[in-house]
């Protein structure tokens, strides 16, 4: 796939020998002193599209990441003419992007960071800026400044979630489908959902796969149900109803 570099002092570093990774790349850079790092093998069939119209930015993808369908990372000037410099995207180790993920940084000085061991569903959008400025009618003070987005370790994000500027999700949390997140949450291990997103349950944990104790628990429940049915059959007369 093409790698187009229309700038100076831009670097793309590969810390693994993976020809399949190179084939997945579609990178366009219009700017200077940008750094893109691939710290390990990228699994999955998804394409990696990066569009940089910016300078002094960095993108780092960690080890053992899975990209099932695709990731689009854009660092570009906002519609209001604000430049995009000193922006950073960090996707840490063992993140599963289970669909298409879109990252947009449209103003300077912002970061999107996804912690290790996270799962991100399909059609999830990360937006550090509204892309166009909004001002108070009387004071001319800007109302919608851009801000960074932080997803801590082991967060499960369902499909069709929008992370707006100022989003911050604590570790061990779950984000419900179709949620719109636009603020910082402080408590870990919570379920967050809705538009605007809010905490709907506390003190939860989630697992990527069923573990042996889960199967034992399910089997125990099933055996109890069977014993209950046997008791009902032995102690109660069951009449079958027939339709006329």
For residues 138-152, average pLDDT: 96
pTM listed for this prediction: 0.84
Q: Average of pLDDT values for 150-179?
A: 98
Say yes or no to pLDDT of 210 above 90: no
Domain ranges for the chain: 3-206
Sign of dihedral through CA atoms 97, 51, 114, 65?
A: positive
Confidence category of residue 23, pLDDT binned at 50, 70, 90? confident
pLDDT at 50 over 90: yes
Q: Where are the beta strands (DSSP E) in 116-183?
A: 119-120, 124-127, 149-151, 156-157, 162-163, 168-169, 174-175, 180-181
Q: Which CATH class is domain 3-206?
A: mainly beta
């Amino acid at each position: 796939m093409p790698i187009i570099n229309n700038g100076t002092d831009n670097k793309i570093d590969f810390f693994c020998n993976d020809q399949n990774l190179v084939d997945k790349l579609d990178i366009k850079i219009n700017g200077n002193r940008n750094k893109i790092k691939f710290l390990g093998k990228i699994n999955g069939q998804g394409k990696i599209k990066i569009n940089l119209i910016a300078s002094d930015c960095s993108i780092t993808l960690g080890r053992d990441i899975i990209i099932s369908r695709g990731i689009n990372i854009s660092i570009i000037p906002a519609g209001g003419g604000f430049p995009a410099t000193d922006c950073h995207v960090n996707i840490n180790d063992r993140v599963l992007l289970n669909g298409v993920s879109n990252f947009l940084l449209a103003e300077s000085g912002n970061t999107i960071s996804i912690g290790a061991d996270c799962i991100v569903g399909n059609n999830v959008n990360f937006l550090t800026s509204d892309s166009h400025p909004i001002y108070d009618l009387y004071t001319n003070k800007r109302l919608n400044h851009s801000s960074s987005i932080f997803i801590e370790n082991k967060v499960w994000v369902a499909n069709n979630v929008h992370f707006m500027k100022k989003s911050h999700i604590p570790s061990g949390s779950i984000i419900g489908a179709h949620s719109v997140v636009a603020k910082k949450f402080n408590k870990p291990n919570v379920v967050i959902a809705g538009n605007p997103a809010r905490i709907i349950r506390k003190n939860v944990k989630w697992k990527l796969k069923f573990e042996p104790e889960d199967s034992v628990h399910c089997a125990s429940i099933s055996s109890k149900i069977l014993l209950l049915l046997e008791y009902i059959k032995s102690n109660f007369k069951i009449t079958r109803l027939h339709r006329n």
